[in-house]
Amino acid sequence: MSFPWAEQYAPKHPFMRYMDEKLPLPRLVYNAIGAGYPVPRNLNYFWNFGVLAGAALAIQLITGIVLAMHYAANGAVAFDSVEHIMRDVNSGWMLRYAHANGASMFFIVVYLHIFRGLYYGSYKAPREMVWLLGLVIFLLMMATAFMGYVLPWGQMSFWGAKVITGLFGAIPLVGEPIQTWLLGGFAPDNAALNRFFSLHYLLPFVILGVVILHIWALHIPGSSNPTGVDVKGPQDTVPFHPYYTAKDGFGLGVFLIIFAALLFFAPNLLGHPDNYIPANPLSTPAHIVPEWYFWPFYAILRAFTVDFILPAKLWGVVAMFASILLLFFLPWLDKSPVRSGSYRPTFRKFFWLLMIDVAILGYCGGAPAEEPFVMISQIAAAYYFAHFLIIIPIISRIERPLPLPNSITEAVLSKSGKTTGEAALAPAE
């Protein structure tokens, strides 16, 4: 579906007409990310991050495929094959640093993309399916990133794999058989490394597939916008191309500058030094920590320290998975008809509190498991669950939202302070 005023694909060249008849791929692209997709005219820079996440995925796929040509997934040689890439493969150091830091950049833009969705209520009807598919992508990304971190077979790779697969060991009765089955042994070894490599190569293509579904689902209602008000007519939208391709091009430039600064001048900033020590099952690192993008969830996992009916470890595992799974129910937990946080004064206060809360959880997740970090993460984790499961449903019931603008165009014009001379009704240039 699209808006009736969307520009129509009309190939002029005979070859393109022939193509359109036999395989309308250019038409598909035109309608998906070309002039045939009308987009609200008032999107701010937070709407850049979807395209940037796509760019990050492409960078990971390209660098990853080339790295796989030089990497060997065998416990005896994996570590050295990575060093071979760093030392002997032409520009191998750049490929590997791009892939390792590319994962961090991917998570940064995806977190900002989720932030946008949470603040502007992009998860609400009619875009629930877009939100759900996005969460599936997020889960797949986490699995892919975790398995990718195991591949260099350094100390953190090994012990991270041991701790994370150990989580399944917390499941009553069947936990240990499941853990052994997942690893192909009693501890991470060749069988685990090989299957992780296989899945690490497979899952990005699954992600790519779900990304296509995510965009497909988005194109049915069309993009949301900062006011959260529905598109009412042609004056509210602009064609995706050239308006947003130009804006996304600029966003891409800024993204790449930050990425390049990290890659070329601080490539190990976000990594852990212990992963430059080859995996050693007999020597446990002082602090086992995952990559930074897992820290908030790791803090939730470790916040449960006391047995209460169930063992503390099981509580931690259930809560960690629940902290992500509850996001799948968000469209039905938040019943407020107003989408954008800009018009929801009470929601907005708690929203920023949640952002601070997640930052605190992240800090505690990266810190050693000792006081005061454990107590702080208990309070922060309690707020996290309370925010989504208790506070949001109550707010959506009692809040009095601010008056909404009648239309996107009205919001745009009142912001620019002029009420006349607008080119909105003029023919599109």
Partner 1 sequence: MVRPIGFLVGLGFVGVLLWSLLWGAVAYVKEPPVPTAEHEFHEHPKKVDFSFNGPLGKFDRGQLQRGFQVYKEVCAACHSLRLVTFRDLQGIGYTEGQTKTLASEWAVETPTINEETGEPATRKSIPADRIPAPFANEIAARAGNAGALPPDLSLIAKARHDGSNYVYSLLTGYQNQPAELLKQFPDSKTGAGLHYNPYFANLNLAMAPPLTSEGQVSYSDGTKPTVDQMSKDVAAFLTWTAEPKLENRHSTGLAVLAFLLIFTVLTYMAYQNIWRDKKH
Q: Which 297-356 residues touch partner 1, going by CB under 8 A?
A: 303-306, 308, 312, 315, 319, 322, 326, 329, 332-333, 335
Rounded to 5 degrees, φ, ψ at 177 are -60, -40
Alpha-carbon torsion angle 43, 45, 51, 56, nearest 10: -170
Residue 185 binds partner 1, judged by CB under 8 A:
no
Among the listed ranges 141-149, 163-171, 358-366, 383-391, the one in contact with partner 1 (CB under 8 A) is 383-391
- 315 in Cβ contact with 321 (< 8 Å): no
29 binding partner 1? (CB under 8 A): no
Q: Is 291 a residue of the active site?
A: yes
Catalytic residue flag (residue 223): yes
Check binding of 45 to partner 1 (CB under 8 A): no
Question: From the CB of 24, what's the least distance to partner 1, in Å?
Answer: 27
Nearest approach in angstroms of CB 409 to partner 1 is 9
Q: Which of 124, 247, 272, 313 is catalytic?
A: 247
Are 363 and 295 in contact, with CB atoms under 8 Å apart?
yes
- Residue 247 annotated as catalytic: yes
Residue 372: asked if its preceding bond is cis (omega within 30°), the reply is yes
Tell me how far, at minimum, the Cβ of 58 lies from partner 1, in Å: 17
Using CB under 8 A, which of the segments 3-11, 104-112, 181-189, 384-392 binds partner 1?
384-392
| Count of residues near partner 1 by CB under 8 A | 71
- 398 touching partner 1, by CB under 8 A: no
List 224, 236, 241, 248, catalytic entry: 248
Q: In sequence order, which residues have a C-beta less than 8 Å from that of residue 221 and are 6 or more positions away?
A: 1, 126, 127, 130
99 in a labelled binding site = yes
- Count other C-beta atoms under 10 Å from residue 79's C-beta: 22
Work out whether 238 is an interface residue with partner 1 (CB under 8 A). yes
The annotation status of 241 as a binding-site residue, yes or no, is no
* Cα 233 from chain centre: 32
Residue 271 DSSP symbol: S
Min dist. Cβ of residue 176 to partner 1 (A): 24
Maximum Cα interatomic distance, the chain, rounded to a whole number of Å: 75
C-alpha 267/C-alpha 391 separation (Å) is 40
**Residue 281 interacting with partner 1 (CB under 8 A):** no
Give the Cα separation of 152 and 425 in Å (integer): 58
Task: Enumerate the active-site residues.
Answer: 219, 223, 247-248, 291
